[in-house]
Structure 1
């Protein structure tokens, strides 16, 4: 065990219901590791909506012991804190053993949302930190706190951040920054890379135990299946969840930035917020991670990369499946599921009911028009929604949409096709439905940057205000109207990398 002396135990009643969860698999999976205390810890951001959903005390943010627990300054009483081991492919290359290099797991807690795993990100080195310090910085911690809640608000499966704690302690990255810890919550943090680790090391019984744990905990309907059939069914379920997740990412213009296999969740969650970005001007080839020199994880390539990653998972499961044909059939289902999910997402965004033969071509023509003029992706969809709602009363309803285009004749031609497909639908109700599908607010890079700049001065007000808006991104929030506008020119100069 990585032991740091003199850490007291947190005496918190809600922790008494905790259990091992993933750690019940044993020390081949979970290595007991104590956190490194965070000096002079203080609250940076608190997710009170998640606190309530988890059934945690209403005075949680007033509890000094909670602050210390979520900063890595106290231990849990029921079971040891641990780091898990996994391996994976990074940027398409086998990277070998990786593991929780700066994440420590507190165990699982029974909540109204079901059994939830709690994890500290940035609480010091682990056996898997390699040459890293195990810390996270304030900048990246705020980004994850805001981004995960933004995804939740958008209805996209994700890990969530309960809180961020900060410290004046220095951390060296590309420059000297201050340390922070994010408390993340999810039903599971199991990654494709967990399976790759045990398969690559020939640990077949551990691989089987891991697969059975995932089935029991997250796919109980598969427990009745026996032998290879169970693991084929598991691969199929993960494939379906991943296809659905990719369609959701693409529909809102989300770029993950580092889709390595060790950053892929087996239960279809968005996992590990590093160099992510939501599109400003639409560019299918946008690369949000300035460390991604080859553009492997560009926006348009994400669905293809997910498919590649699923094949890595399938390969890892082959010792349990044995026959290639059923594994391939499970994986090949992605080729149908993703396009179908994407088509439905685009129909929802366009306010179209039913499935017509020309719908995909209509959506593709729109994306080409957006690409041609780099039209702001989120602003376009929101204005289109308003235009549809108001078009029954105003012949000029589409002018604000048209104004987004330099090549207005291209939009005009597309709009004729669109309105013909929309048909005699009730424009008011259709527009209202579109406004519930197309968000007004996303976490634009420049908004996150402004919140981070304020936070570095000790002012966390914008962090909490931005969280409040992103928690309900379809609402109007008139006080924060400026945050729904076009990104300023300086936003394009913001560079985000894997460094955090």
Structure 2
């Protein structure tokens, strides 16, 4: 099966490689024996201008396992540094990721990277490999986040091999092929700043501005301060979207923060089941640094580290601090816009933030399932058809939500306020509002237990559960027939699942 990707080396470029050897080490991936397909994203293949049939071919299988290179590919691993769990970790780098190059696509240039492709000079004590478990989780979550409309790297495919890999126990190897406009991280800037390589720091900043933030040169002022400001705004919007769907990243180290505001490096992530603002999804995070309610402050802390790294390119420290200020206003505004949409509100009014906070507090007190509560709330609006709708009718509509709570009197009082707020909106239409809310509050998210079931079946050679789950995650707002179990409450054993930095 022929494909433009295989036939035309002209589709490949490597702008990052042109930065020079200070930024990377060129090397080939380490082959894996007897690879097999685990999962593919045909939707992403089409978006990238690839023939989905070719993606099922033997040539594609070996290419995306790292066993062969196509003409035009120039594989390398990049160097970066970073703060991990709040402490300076020094030099890090792509310890198990190899960048194949940059592919010309209908979406624009996209970097294509293999995760789990073998040792690099930056592997430190690692083996350069990824395991089936973590690779399936990253593959599914990348595509799930994209379907939710959250900025993210994408995952084209996962391949597996029976080659053994040691983690807490012996597991089997896998490789994720992931794409993004760029995989440059905050840690890339920290690396050159902390090592005193200010010429390279400027070169990297210029590269990012020229290719991804050209407006920073067109606006008045220091372009590097404008870059920090733009990254602060993008990061604020992304974290607001995380909070609005109950997503916990789990390991927000500076080397896991995208300069483009993308969600990257899916490790110990989790979509919350029972709502707990202090929820810690990462078993390794004993101090709770990356708990759900701390994610906004950690994002700002990481941006502060980026600002420190960029200081050699600015006039003074105040310029960097001023560039960080937008986060403090953009984040709460973006979050309330998201939460307002989840409540069916079409325009902001005083008191909306209190309305949101009160509902979240009620959910927290009773440990209510985050996704199910918001989804059920979307259906309640149909009972608010007219301003004079009978209270009994509205109460009946609320029953599926009331069933989730112990504090029902408090919920009833809140619902009455919410109902009045909705009906005060000009031209309020109950059915149209419900439709909007159903496109905002997902039916299906990648819960830990759903991923765990897919992983266990995959370990047995059965990928049907993975495919079924993937199909539902690609349409998270739709009530798909035969998928009620994917939208149901988690089983009791789900609370015992432990996800760590090795996940």
Given the two structures, how large is their TM-score scaled by the length of structure 1? 0.96
User: Is 1:287 equivalent to 2:280 in the alignment?
Assistant: yes
User: Is 1:398 equivalent to 2:391 in the alignment?
Assistant: no
Aligned counterpart, 1:348: 341
**Structure 2 Cα separation of the partners of residues 132 and 114 of structure 1:** 33
In structure 1, the residue corresponding to 2:267 is in which secondary structure?
Answer: coil
Are the aligned partners of 1:191 and 1:261 in contact in 2 as well (CA < 8 Å)?
Answer: yes
**Structure 2 Cα separation of the partners of residues 442 and 62 of structure 1:** 27
Are the aligned partners of 2:45 and 2:55 in contact in 1 as well (CA < 8 Å)?
Answer: no
Aligned counterpart, 2:12: 18
Aligned counterpart, 1:470: 473
Alignment root-mean-square deviation, CA = 1.4
In structure 1, the residue corresponding to 2:104 is in which secondary structure?
Answer: strand
**Structure 2 Cα separation of the partners of residues 62 and 273 of structure 1:** 25
Aligned counterpart, 2:94: 100
Residue 11 to residue 367, structure 1, CA distance change in 2 (3 Å): closer
Aligned counterpart, 1:433: 436
User: Is 1:54 equivalent to 2:48 in the alignment?
Assistant: yes
User: Is 1:169 equivalent to 2:172 in the alignment?
Assistant: no
**Structure 2 Cα separation of the partners of residues 237 and 249 of structure 1:** 19
1:182 to 171, 176, 181: 176
Aligned counterpart, 2:306: 313
User: Is 1:497 equivalent to 2:500 in the alignment?
Assistant: yes
1:361 to 331, 335, 354: 354
1:299 to 271, 292, 299: 292
TM-superposed deviation, 1:390 = 4.1
TM-superposed deviation, 1:79 = 4.6
In structure 1, the residue corresponding to 2:211 is in which secondary structure?
Answer: helix
**Structure 2 Cα separation of the partners of residues 232 and 362 of structure 1:** 36
User: Is 1:256 equivalent to 2:249 in the alignment?
Assistant: yes
Aligned counterpart, 2:143: 149
**Structure 2 Cα separation of the partners of residues 156 and 14 of structure 1:** 32
Are the aligned partners of 2:186 and 2:257 in contact in 1 as well (CA < 8 Å)?
Answer: yes
Are the aligned partners of 1:389 and 1:429 in contact in 2 as well (CA < 8 Å)?
Answer: no
Structure 1 stretch displaced more, 42-51 or 470-479: 470-479
Counting only pairs closer than 5 Å after superposition, residues 177-216 of structure 1 correspond to structure 2 as 177-216=171-210
In structure 1, the residue corresponding to 2:21 is in which secondary structure?
Answer: coil
Q: State the aligned residue count.
A: 490
**Structure 1 Cα separation of the partners of residues 309 and 419 of structure 2:** 48
TM-superposed deviation, 1:221 = 2.1
1:151-175 Cα distance to aligned partner (Å, 9 max, x none): 0010000001000000011100001
Aligned counterpart, 1:271: 264
TM-superposed deviation, 1:11 = 8.5
Are the aligned partners of 1:136 and 1:181 in contact in 2 as well (CA < 8 Å)?
Answer: yes
User: Is 1:82 equivalent to 2:76 in the alignment?
Assistant: yes
TM-superposed deviation, 1:225 = 5.2
Are the aligned partners of 1:15 and 1:109 in contact in 2 as well (CA < 8 Å)?
Answer: no
Aligned counterpart, 1:411: 411
TM-superposed deviation, 1:406 = 1.2
In structure 2, the residue corresponding to 1:205 is in which secondary structure?
Answer: helix
2:317 to 308, 319, 324: 324
Aligned counterpart, 1:372: 365
Residue 11 to residue 253, structure 1, CA distance change in 2 (3 Å): closer
Q: Could you list the runs of 4 or more consecutive aligned residues of structure 1 that deviate by over 6 angstroms after TM superposition?
A: none
Consecutive unaligned residues of structure 1, counting only runs of 5 or more, are 1-9
Given the two structures, how large is their TM-score scaled by the length of structure 2? 0.95
Aligned counterpart, 1:127: 121
In structure 1, the residue corresponding to 2:67 is in which secondary structure?
Answer: coil
Structure 1 stretch displaced more, 300-309 or 29-38: 29-38
In structure 2, the residue corresponding to 1:275 is in which secondary structure?
Answer: coil
In structure 2, the residue corresponding to 1:388 is in which secondary structure?
Answer: helix
**Structure 1 Cα separation of the partners of residues 399 and 15 of structure 2:** 55
Consecutive unaligned residues of structure 2, counting only runs of 5 or more, are none
TM-superposed deviation, 1:300 = 0.2
